[in-house]
Amino acid sequence: MDFTLGSADTEWRDRVRAFMDEKVRPRVADYEAQQRDGERWKVLPVVEDLKTQARAEGLWNLFMPPSHGATPVDASFTFDGPGLSNLQYAVCAEEMGRILWASEAFNCSAPDTGNMEVINRYGTREQKDEWLKPLMDGEIRSAFLMTEPDVASSDATNIQCRIEKRGNGYVVNGRKWWSSGAGDPRAKVAILMGKTDPGAEKHKQQSMLLMPLDAPGVTIERHLPVFGYDDAPHGHMEIRLDNVELPGSAMLLGEGRGFEIAQGRLGPGRIHHCMRTIGAAEEALDLMVKRLMSRTAFGKTIAEQGVWEERVANARIDIEMTRLLCLKAADMMDRAGNKAAQGEIAMIKVAAPLMALKVIDDAIQAHGAAGVSADTGLAHAYASIRTLRLADGPDEVHRRAIARLEYKKHR
Amino acid sequence: MDFTLGSADTEWRDRVRAFMDEKVRPRVADYEAQQRDGERWKVLPVVEDLKTQARAEGLWNLFMPPSHGATPVDASFTFDGPGLSNLQYAVCAEEMGRILWASEAFNCSAPDTGNMEVINRYGTREQKDEWLKPLMDGEIRSAFLMTEPDVASSDATNIQCRIEKRGNGYVVNGRKWWSSGAGDPRAKVAILMGKTDPGAEKHKQQSMLLMPLDAPGVTIERHLPVFGYDDAPHGHMEIRLDNVELPGSAMLLGEGRGFEIAQGRLGPGRIHHCMRTIGAAEEALDLMVKRLMSRTAFGKTIAEQGVWEERVANARIDIEMTRLLCLKAADMMDRAGNKAAQGEIAMIKVAAPLMALKVIDDAIQAHGAAGVSADTGLAHAYASIRTLRLADGPDEVHRRAIARLEYKKHR
Amino acid sequence: MDFTLGSADTEWRDRVRAFMDEKVRPRVADYEAQQRDGERWKVLPVVEDLKTQARAEGLWNLFMPPSHGATPVDASFTFDGPGLSNLQYAVCAEEMGRILWASEAFNCSAPDTGNMEVINRYGTREQKDEWLKPLMDGEIRSAFLMTEPDVASSDATNIQCRIEKRGNGYVVNGRKWWSSGAGDPRAKVAILMGKTDPGAEKHKQQSMLLMPLDAPGVTIERHLPVFGYDDAPHGHMEIRLDNVELPGSAMLLGEGRGFEIAQGRLGPGRIHHCMRTIGAAEEALDLMVKRLMSRTAFGKTIAEQGVWEERVANARIDIEMTRLLCLKAADMMDRAGNKAAQGEIAMIKVAAPLMALKVIDDAIQAHGAAGVSADTGLAHAYASIRTLRLADGPDEVHRRAIARLEYKKHR
Amino acid sequence: MDFTLGSADTEWRDRVRAFMDEKVRPRVADYEAQQRDGERWKVLPVVEDLKTQARAEGLWNLFMPPSHGATPVDASFTFDGPGLSNLQYAVCAEEMGRILWASEAFNCSAPDTGNMEVINRYGTREQKDEWLKPLMDGEIRSAFLMTEPDVASSDATNIQCRIEKRGNGYVVNGRKWWSSGAGDPRAKVAILMGKTDPGAEKHKQQSMLLMPLDAPGVTIERHLPVFGYDDAPHGHMEIRLDNVELPGSAMLLGEGRGFEIAQGRLGPGRIHHCMRTIGAAEEALDLMVKRLMSRTAFGKTIAEQGVWEERVANARIDIEMTRLLCLKAADMMDRAGNKAAQGEIAMIKVAAPLMALKVIDDAIQAHGAAGVSADTGLAHAYASIRTLRLADGPDEVHRRAIARLEYKKHR
C-alpha cells in the first residue's frame, strides 16, 4: 500500500493542470460571452479552439482505459487512448472538474466518454467506423437515451420505450428525457435503451440501439433546465420517438443484452463524474478561503471567525476522505476489474456529490449573495452536481446495493 | 396559552386560501407563458389581473400592521390596512408562499411591504403622498438599496455608499447590488442606505433617502441571476450611483438615523419571508407525497419504502415545529412589540429557510430528475429560499445575536 | 391562538420551580451520597423526605388529568389529582426534568404515572383499593412489564409471554426485561402484558394483568445498566416468570383488551417523558453557557469563539421549537382528546429526545472531559435520554406512523 | 499509488487478527467476570495470561516505530520493537480495537505506548533502564499527567501545575485529572507536564518530569467515571500533588522543553487511537447487521427495511473513507515524517471518533434496549470513544489547526 502518487501518476495530471491553468482558465470569460450571445444551441468557437490545442498536446481521449476490462466484440478496430489507468485518469479528471465545461476540451466529457467505451467494447467494426471514429476525433457528439418521464427510472425494468422488430430492422416508439448533450448541433448519434421483448425474463427484455439523431421520427420536444440553467449548448432534452425505423445493424451486441451493456457502461462513467466532482469541491474550497481572507466584518477577517474555521476544516477533511475513496475505487478497477470494485463504485457515487454539495453550499454562504449569482460559478456547480444524486440511479438505489453487499458477508 | 387558531385567525387565511386555489393556481401556466415570451422586464398582465380581483375582494395590503409598533412621524396620513395582527397575517402569508410569485397579487410582496411600512411610520406627509399612496394602490413598485458588492454587508457599518450634503440637498455616489424588484418597469422609487457622516459614531453615520429610480445618475448595470433564474420581471439588480442629486425632502427621519430605521424595518419583513417559506415547504411536502404514492419501483410504491417514510415524517415534524416558532414570534410582536420579540425573530430567520431547503431538497430527490427541472417548481423554490440564508443578514450574524441574548441571561 | 402562558398555566409551574430550586436542588449532593453508600437497592431517605414536603405543599400527583379522556370502568372511586390540564402539567414536568430523579418527589415519576392512569381508568373498585390508593399515596411503587428480550418489541404483536387460563385464574410464563423501577424495594405491583389467546386476531391476543411482584414464580434475574449506570434504586430489571399464578381478579378490563389499554396508556406517558426531556435540555444549555463564559483559551472566553456562538444559538432555537410542539400536543390532548393528538404525540416522541441529545452532547463538549464524568450530570442525562429513542417504540416506528398519517391526507 | 495491502502489510495484521479471534475473544466473558468480582482496582489474571501468550508469539510492542522519527537523546539503549511501519501497525491496531481492552494484551495500550516512545526518544540511559525496560516488558504501567481540572486544557499554555527548582532537584505542586491508567496497581510512573518558568516565553515555560506514582505527596483523590463506567482497573484518576520532591535526573530532555516533547508525543498516539476506533466501528457494524438480519417486525426482517439499508450503507461508506484517511496519515508519517503529516493527523483525529460514534449509535438503535445495556458492548464503546473528541485536544482545536493550514496555502 502506498499513498504517494508516483511520477507516472502525476505526469498526465500535471500536464492537464498546466493546460487548465494556462489555456482553459483564461478563456472562461470568452466561453461565457460566446454562450450568452445570440442563439443558444450552437457550437462555441472557444471550445473548438481549445480542443485543437489539447489534441495537439496529446491531451486527448485520456479517459479510454487500456483494456476496457474485457475483450471487445470486434477487435479489428479498437482504441486504447494514451493508455492511462483509471487512477491516472482520476487525478486528471479532478483537474478538469474545476471548471464545469472544461472536460470537453480534452474530448473527455459525458455522455460521449461512456458511449465511446460502449461502442469500442460492444460495437461491430461497421458501427465503430460510422460512430466511434468521429467521436474519438471530436467531430461529432452523442447522447444516451435511457431515462423516461413517466416511470421511476431508478428501477430500470420500468423502461417503457418499445423496440419492435420489423423485417430485418426495428421500429422505435417512446419518450425519453434528460438526454444530456442532445442540444448540441454536433450531437449526431444516440445510444438508446428500450424493450425488445416485454415477455422475456426481467433482465433480458431490454436492448440497446445506435440511433442517428436525425432519423425521421426523432423529435426534440424541449430542453429541461437544471435550477434555471439550460446548460446550452449541451442541454438536457426531452425527445419523442415516433415510429423511428432503424436497420438491423443498429443493434448493439444483440437483442436482450441491454442490461448487460448498461452495467458495463455505468461503472467507469460513475467514477469519472465523481473525480470531476472532487475537483469542483476543491475549486469551491479555494474560492471560499480566498473570500474569507479578503473580507472583514466586526473587526476581523471572516476567516478568523471560529464558525468558518470549522467549515473550512470540515471541507478539507471531507474532500480528502472522498478523494481517497474515489482513487481506491479507480485503483481496484485497474487491478481487480470493474466487478470487484462494484461496492466501492457505488460508495463513491453516493459520497462524492453529497460531499461536494456541502462544500459548495458553504462556499456560497461565505460569499454572501455573490455566491448564488453567476459571478463565482458556485451556484451553477451546485445545480450541476445536484443532478448527480439522481443520474445513473439515485442515491437510494446505490445505498441499497451497498447494504446488500454488507448483508451478504453475514449470510 | 391556546394552540387553536380561532375564527378571527382563520377567516382571512381561508379567504386567501380560497383565492389561491381558485384564482391564482389556475393561472400559473399563464404566468409562466407570459414571463417566458418576448421581453423579460415587462409588466405581466396575469398579475395585474389578479391584483384587480384580490383588491376587489378586500385581500389587499394585508401585511400592514394596525399599529406599526410606534407612533408615526406624521400622523396626518397613515394607513392601517385591514387591520390584521401579525399572527393573522402569518397564516395568510403561508398560503401565499405556496406559489413563488403569488404574494404580489395581494400587494404583499417584498420589498414593497417593508418599504411601505417604513414610509408609513417614518415618512412626512409629503413623502407619503408622493410614494406611499401609489405603493398602497399597487400602481408602482419599489426597491431597497442596502447591500454593496465590495464589502461584507453582514456588518452594516461596512457600507460605503456616500451621501454628501450639498446646499439644501444631497449628492449620492456608490454602488449597490441585490436591489430586488428594481428590474420591474413599475419600480419607481428606492429607499437607499448610505453614509452621511463617516466621522460620526458607528451607528450614527448612516442615513436613508427616498430616491426616484429615474433620477439622473442612477444606472442599472446588470441583473444578477439566482442560480440560473433571472426572476424577471422582478429581478435582482446591480446599480451604479453617480452624483445622484436629491432634494433635502428625500431624507427619511433625519440624518444619521438610518440604523434606527433599518432595525425597525427588518423585524416584520423577516417574519413575512419566513411565513411564506413555511408555505413553500408545505407545498413541497404535498408534491413529494403525491409523487411517492404515484410511482412504483422494485415492486412497491416508493411511499412504502422505509427511507421515504423517514423523510416524510421528518418533513412533517420540522414544518410543524418551525411554523409554531414563526407564529410565536408573530404573536409576541402583536402582544409585546417587535423589540421584545427580537430573539424569536432572529431564531425563525435562521430556522425557517434551513428547514424549507431540507424539505424541498428531499422533494427534489423524490421526483428524480423532474425535481431539478422547471416542471415542479421545486428547484426554483430552492434557489429563492437559498437567498434567504443571506438576505437581511446571513445566518451567522443572527446566530451570534441569539447566542449573545443567551449569554446576557447569565451575566 | 395565544402563545402567552396565562396565570393559570404558570401558577403550578412557578410552585414546582420554586420547590425545585429551594428544596430539591440543595439536596442533590445528599441524593448522590445516599445512593452511593452501601447497598444500592434501597429506599433513599432524601427522596422520602422531599415527598413529604411536596405533598404538604399540594405538589402531588400533578400528572393525573382531570378527565382521563374517558369514563372510568368503575367510577365509584376515581382520582382526579389537583386538576391540571396536560398543558399545565407539561410546564411543571419541564421543571422537574431539570434533575434526573426529581419527579419522584412529586409522585410524578414513570412508570407509576402511566400505571396509575391505567388503574384509575380501567381498574375495578377492588383493584383500585388494593393498588391505586397506595400508589397515589406514594407508599408503594410499580413496574410495567411489556418488553421482551428475544423479539423485536417495536412490533407489539411479537410479544411471547403466555397467560393461560387455569380455573378462575391465570398462569403466566415468560421473560420480560427493561422493567424499569422494579429494582426499588417499594415496587410491589406490575402491570404485565401477555398473550391470552394466540389464535385470536392480531390485536385481540393480548391482555394486561395486575401482578404482585412478590408472587411466587417472579424472579428478578439481573439489573440492566444503561451505559454504565445502574440507575439504582430504580433500576431496569430482567424478570423471569415461571408458572406465576394469579386470580381472575387480576385481569384488567377483560381478556384480549391489552392493546386497547396499551394505546390509551402510552399517549400521555410519552408526553410526560418529552416534557422532562425539554427541561433536561434547558439545564444542559444553562450549564454549557456558564462553562463557556467561565473558561478562557487562546486569549478570550470560549463563549466568544464563533463555533460556540453557533452551537448555543442552535440549542436555543431547537429547544424553543421542540417545546412549542410539545405544548401543542398537550393542548390538543386537552381540547380534542388523545386520539386527535396522535400525530403530534408521535412527532414530539421523535423530536424531543433527538433535540435534547444534541444539546447535551454539545454541552459535554463545552465542558471538556468534565462533561463525560459525574461532576456535571450531563453524561447521565445523555444516557437516560438515549433510552427514550427506544422506549415506548423506537423512533422508526413513530416516523412510520407519522408518514402514514401524511399519506392518508392524499388518498 | 497503490491501494492494495501487500503481504508485508497484512502478515502482522493477520497474526493479530488470529490472536484476537482465537485467544482474546473467547476470554471476554472471563475478563468481565474478573473485572466484576471483588475489588475493582486490581490486576486481572486474564490479561496477564494473554500478555504471556502474545509475547510468546512475538505480538508484543508492535507500536514502537523503527526510527522514532528522530535520533534518540541517548542511543546506547533504544528499542525498535519488531519494526512495523506506522501503516503496518495501523491495520494491527484496528484489529485490536474491536475489543475495548484488547490492546493491552499486546503491550500496545495507551498511555503506555506514548510514554514509552517519549522515554525511548528523549530519555537518558538511566531513565530508560529504570522505566522503559519494565514498561517494554509489560511489568509495570504508566500514566500521563497533563490535563488539569481548573483550566481550559485545550490551550496548553493554561497549565498551572508548578515545578520549582530546589537544590539539584524539583518540587511539584498542582492538581491533575483524567490521568488514565493511574488506577492500575501496576502503574508505577507518570510523565508529568508542569511549569518550570512562568516568566519564560509562552512555549518555553513547561517541562516534563518522570515521577514515580508512589512518591510522597502524590495522592490519588478519586476516579472519574465515563458515562457511568469506572473503566477499572485502568481508571481515570484525579491526582493531587503536594510538595512532591523529585531529583534532577527526573527531568526529561531539559527545562522548558515540555512543549517540544508533547508535540512529538501526540502525533503517533493520536493515530493509534484512531486506528482502534475504526476497529470499534467495524465491530459495531458487524453487530448491527447480524441483529438486523435476525429480528423480524411487521412481517419482514428489519434488515430489509429501507431506513436500515440506508444506515448500513452510510456506515460502510464512512468507515471506508475514514480508514483510508487514517492509513494515509500513517503512510505519510512513514515516508515523510510526523511533521509533514500534521494536517492529516489532525484530520483523522477529528474524523475517526465522529464517524465511529455515528456508527455505534446506529448500532445501538438497531439493537433496541439491548444496545444501551452491557450485553453488546456498544454503549461502553460509545462512552469510551466519546472521550476521544476531547482527549489530546478537543475537535475544535484540531479543526482550527486544519483551517489555518488551509489559509496558509493562500497567503
Q: Which of the listed residues A79, A108, A139 is the one where a domain comes to its end?
A: A139
Q: Give me Rg for the CA atoms of chain C.
A: 21
Q: How many whole angstroms separate alpha carbon B282 and alpha carbon B288? A: 10
Cβ separation C407–B344 shorter than 8 A: no
Residue D374 lies in a domain: yes
Cβ separation A305–C306 shorter than 8 A: yes
Q: Output the average pLDDT for chain D.
A: 94
- Residue C322: closest CA among C376, C367, C284, C378: C284
Cell numbers describing residue D81: 520493537
Q: CATH code at A328?
A: 1.20.140.10
Say yes or no to pLDDT of A156 above 90: no
Cell numbers describing residue C328: 401543542
Cβ separation B406–C327 shorter than 8 A: no
- Which one of A310, A314, A362 makes the best mutation probe of the C interface by having the most chain C beta carbons within 10 Å? A310
Q: How many whole angstroms separate alpha carbon B16 and alpha carbon D191? A: 73
Specify whether C28 is located in the same domain as C113. Answer: yes
Contact list in B for residue A292 (CB cut-off 8 A) is none
Cβ separation A225–B225 shorter than 8 A: no
Cβ separation C364–D374 shorter than 8 A: no
Q: How many whole angstroms separate alpha carbon B120 and alpha carbon B132? A: 7
Contact list in B for residue A391 (CB cut-off 8 A) is 369
ipTM above 0.90, yes or no: yes
C-alpha dihedral sign at D33, D35, D40, D46: positive
Cβ separation B320–C347 shorter than 8 A: yes
> Do C288 and C315 touch, CB atoms closer than 8 A?
yes
Instruction: Tell me which amino acid residue B58 is.
Output: G
Cβ separation B228–A230 shorter than 8 A: yes
Residue B240 lies in a domain: yes
Interface subset of D 258-287, CB within 8 angstroms of A: 285-286
Cβ separation A400–D317 shorter than 8 A: no
Chains touching B (3+ CB pairs < 8 Å): A, C, D
Q: Cα distance from D114 to chain A (closest Cα, Å)? A: 25
Specify whether C350 is located in the same domain as C379. Answer: yes
- Which one of D301, D307, D311 makes the best mutation probe of the B interface by having the most chain B beta carbons within 10 Å? D307
Interface subset of A 43-102, CB within 8 angstroms of D: 87
Q: CATH code at D84?
A: 1.10.540.10
pLDDT at C268: 78
Specify whether C230 is located in the same domain as C330. Answer: no
pLDDT at B269: 76
- Which one of A84, A278, A289, A321 makes the best mutation probe of the D interface by having the most chain D beta carbons within 10 Å? A321
Regions of chain C with pLDDT less than 70: 66-70, 80, 266
- Which one of C298, C304, C310, C365 makes the best mutation probe of the A interface by having the most chain A beta carbons within 10 Å? C310
Residue B2 lies in a domain: no
CB pairs under 8 A, 24+ apart, for B331-337?
A: B331/B86, B331/B87, B331/C1, B331/C2, B331/C3, B331/C4, B332/C3, B333/B65, B333/B69, B333/B86, B333/B267, B333/B268, B333/B271, B334/B85, B334/B86, B334/B87, B335/C4, B337/B69
Mean pLDDT of D78-87: 84
CA distances from residue D294 to C28, C51, D288, D372 in whole angstroms, order as listed: 43, 45, 10, 18
- Residue D177: closest CA among C299, C382, C374: C374
Cβ separation B374–A225 shorter than 8 A: yes
Contact list in D for residue A290 (CB cut-off 8 A) is 410
Cα maximum dimension of chain B:
79
3-state secondary structure of C230: coil
Specify whether C233 is located in the same domain as C329. Answer: no
Cβ separation A390–B396 shorter than 8 A: no
Q: Which of the listed residues A79, A111, A139 is the one where a domain comes to its end?
A: A139
Specify whether C391 is located in the same domain as C267. Answer: yes
Residue of C nearest to D306 (CA): C396
Cβ separation B407–C324 shorter than 8 A: no
**Cβ neighbourhood burial of A198 (10 Å; 0-12, 13-18, 19+):** exposed
Residue A1 lies in a domain: no
Question: Which member of A158, A296, A383 has the closest CB to residue B227?
Answer: A383
Question: Which member of C372, C373, C394 has the closest CB to residue D368?
Answer: C394
Residue B130 lies in a domain: yes
Taking 3-state DSSP, the helix, strand and coil percentages for chain D, each rounded to the nearest 5, stand at 55, 15, 30
Specify whether A94 is located in the same domain as A28. Answer: yes
φ/ψ of C168, rounded to 5, equals: -85, -5
> Do D376 and D367 touch, CB atoms closer than 8 A?
yes
Specify whether D123 is located in the same domain as D150. Answer: no
Residue B1 in contact with partner chain D when CB distance is under 8 A: no
Provide the residue-wise pLDDT of chain B in tens; the chain has 411 residues: 999 999 988 999 999 999 999 999 999 999 999 999 999 999 999 999 999 999 999 999 999 876 555 577 887 777 767 889 999 999 999 999 999 999 999 999 999 999 999 999 999 999 999 999 999 999 999 999 999 999 988 787 899 999 999 999 999 999 999 999 999 999 999 999 999 999 999 999 999 999 999 999 999 999 999 999 999 999 999 999 999 999 999 999 999 999 999 887 767 777 889 999 999 999 999 999 999 999 999 889 999 999 999 999 999 999 999 999 999 999 999 999 888 999 999 999 999 999 999 999 999 999 999 999 999 999 999 999 999 999 989 999 999 999 999 999 998
Contact list in C for residue D371 (CB cut-off 8 A) is 390
Cβ separation B390–A379 shorter than 8 A: no
3-state secondary structure of C92: helix
Predicted confidence (pLDDT) per residue in D350-365, tens digit: 999 999 999 999 999 9
3-state secondary structure of B339: coil
- Other C-beta atoms closer than 10 Å to the C-beta of B157 total 14
In chain C, the percentage of residues whose pLDDT exceeds 90 is: 88
Q: How many whole angstroms separate alpha carbon B264 and alpha carbon C127? A: 63
- Residue D176: closest CA among D162, D155, D189: D162
Interface subset of B 150-179, CB within 8 angstroms of A: 151-155, 158, 177-178
Cβ separation D383–C307 shorter than 8 A: no
Specify whether D304 is located in the same domain as D324. Answer: yes
Query: Regarding beta strands B296-297 and B236-246, do their DSSP bridges make them parallel or antiparallel, or are they unpaired?
Result: unpaired
Q: pLDDT-derived band of residue D75, with 50, 70 and 90 as boundaries?
A: confident
Q: How many whole angstroms separate alpha carbon C36 and alpha carbon A108? A: 70
Cβ separation A368–B154 shorter than 8 A: yes
Specify whether A78 is located in the same domain as A23. Answer: yes
Cβ separation D3–A328 shorter than 8 A: yes
pLDDT at C212: 98
Give the residues across from C98 on adjacent strands: none
Contact list in C for residue A310 (CB cut-off 8 A) is 306-307, 310
Specify whether A154 is located in the same domain as A193. Answer: yes
In chain A, the percentage of residues whose pLDDT exceeds 90 is: 88
Contact list in A for residue B394 (CB cut-off 8 A) is 365, 368
Q: How many whole angstroms separate alpha carbon A1 and alpha carbon D332? A: 12
Residue D306 in contact with partner chain B when CB distance is under 8 A: yes
Residue C306 in contact with partner chain A when CB distance is under 8 A: yes
Residue B132 lies in a domain: yes
pLDDT at B67: 57
Chains touching C (3+ CB pairs < 8 Å): A, B, D
Instruction: Write a three-state SS string for C114-164.
Output: HHHHHHHHHCCHHHHHHHHHHHHCCCCEEEEECCCCCCCCCCHHHCCCEEE
Question: Domain range spanning residue D51?
Answer: 7-139
Specify whether C278 is located in the same domain as C403. Answer: yes
Give the residues across from A220 on adjacent strands: A239
pLDDT at C157: 84
- Other C-beta atoms closer than 10 Å to the C-beta of B391 total 25
Predicted confidence (pLDDT) per residue in A12-58, tens digit: 999 999 999 999 999 999 999 999 999 999 999 999 999 999 999 99
Cell numbers describing residue C254: 377483560
Residue of C nearest to A304 (CA): C306
Q: How many whole angstroms separate alpha carbon C364 and alpha carbon C371? A: 4
Residue B400 lies in a domain: yes
Residue of D nearest to B306 (CA): D306
Residue of D nearest to B307 (CA): D307
Q: pLDDT-derived band of residue A72, with 50, 70 and 90 as boundaries?
A: confident
Residue A6 in contact with partner chain D when CB distance is under 8 A: yes
Instruction: Tell me which amino acid residue A259 is.
Output: F
Predicted confidence (pLDDT) per residue in C276-331, tens digit: 999 999 999 999 999 999 999 988 999 999 999 999 999 999 999 999 999 999 99
Specify whether A263 is located in the same domain as A405. Answer: yes
Residue of B nearest to A232 (CA): B228
- What's the total number of domains in chain A? 3
Residue of D nearest to C225 (CA): D373
Residue B299 in contact with partner chain D when CB distance is under 8 A: no
Residue of C nearest to A310 (CA): C307
CA distances from residue D200 to B355, C251, D195, D207 in whole angstroms, order as listed: 52, 79, 10, 12
Cβ separation D286–A410 shorter than 8 A: yes
- Which one of C3, C293, C310, C312 makes the best mutation probe of the B interface by having the most chain B beta carbons within 10 Å? C3
Compute the count of residue pairs across chains A and D with CB atoms less than 8 Å apart.
148
Cβ separation B350–C306 shorter than 8 A: no
Q: Which of the listed residues C139, C167, C192 is the one where a domain comes to its end?
A: C139
Between the two ends of chain B, the Cα-to-Cα distance in Å is 30
> Do C141 and C188 touch, CB atoms closer than 8 A?
yes
**Cβ neighbourhood burial of B28 (10 Å; 0-12, 13-18, 19+):** middle
Q: CATH code at A179?
A: 2.40.110.10
Interface subset of A 211-250, CB within 8 angstroms of B: 224-230, 236
Query: Regarding beta strands B169-180 and B218-223, do their DSSP bridges make them parallel or antiparallel, or are they unpaired?
Result: unpaired
Predicted confidence (pLDDT) per residue in D310-319, tens digit: 999 999 999 9
Residue B1 lies in a domain: no
